[in-house]
Amino acid sequence: MDKLDNLVARGPVVPVVVLDRVEDAVPLGRALLAGGVSTMEITLRTDAALGSIEAVAKDLPEMFVGAGTVVTTEDCQRVKDAGSEFMVSPGFHENLHKGALDTGLALLPGVATATDVVQALQFGYTRLKFFPAEASGGIAALKALTGPFPQLKICPTGGIGLSNAPDYLALDAVMCVGGSWLVPKAKIAAGEWDAITEIAAAAQALSR
């Protein structure tokens, strides 16, 4: 929980990163840092993910780098070995909890329903990811979901951008939001690092 609270303390938005090339990881990390964003959730959606985590962990110690789309116990160990400091999952299962315990990494599990929340609470998780946020009903659904669970702190992710992030961040239950809008794939592919720095700065300036 301390590591997840560290994640929140670093800013209101966690970039959700998809990388096709390992060589883009460090320049992207530098661009985010220049905009004041010192967290990266590098998702396990591509073959470049583990190498990218390893590169950022090695070359940018000031970046709090974690792994997203962690879904198996094997994933937990692989991202730990790569240098990840935290893990994010789109869902939750007891095996993920075991993987978190075995590796010592903080886990932010995903939930979308009250049943999901109750299951996560059984294992002591009060910091959760609401995913996919907009597709699951957005702010109205999140308010209804967190009403019976005042102990929760939520990171909504999925369909969130600069225009609607402030509405989510205004909710008491929301600790931060996750978003891929900070790291557009087209700008990464083109090496437009200054543009990403500008986007990062705008995201970092959002209030909670």
What CA–CA distance (Å, rounded) separates 136 from 188? 29
Single-letter amino acid, residue 102: D
Res 1: pLDDT? 67
Res 64: pLDDT? 97
Active site residue 41: yes
Which entry of 54, 80, 85, 129 is annotated as an active-site residue? 129
Res 176: pLDDT? 97
User: What are the extents of the domains in the chain?
Assistant: 2-200
Active site residue 58: no
CB-count burial class (<10 Å; 0-12, 13-18, 19+) for 140: exposed
Whether the CB-CB separation of 148 and 173 falls below 8 Å is answered with no
Closest alpha carbon to 189 in 19, 31, 53: 19
Which entry of 41, 54, 80, 85 is annotated as an active-site residue? 41
Per-residue pLDDT of the chain (208 residues; tens, 9 = 90+): 677 888 889 999 999 999 999 999 999 999 999 999 999 999 999 999 999 999 999 999 999 999 999 999 999 999 999 999 999 999 999 999 999 999 999 999 999 999 999 999 999 999 999 999 999 999 999 999 999 999 999 999 999 999 999 999 999 999 999 999 999 999 999 999 999 999 999 999 998 7
Give the fold, CATH level 3, of 2-200: TIM Barrel (3.20.20)
Dmax over CA atoms of the chain, in Å, equals 46
How many distinct helices (H) and strands (E) make up the chain? 10, 9
Please list, in sequence order, all residues whose beta carbon lies within 8 angstroms of the beta carbon of residue 158, skipping any fewer than 6 positions away: 131, 132, 133, 134, 135, 136, 178
Alpha helices in the chain (DSSP H): 2-9, 25-34, 49-59, 73-82, 94-103, 114-122, 138-146, 165-169, 185-190, 193-204
Res 207: pLDDT? 85
What CA–CA distance (Å, rounded) separates 18 from 8? 21
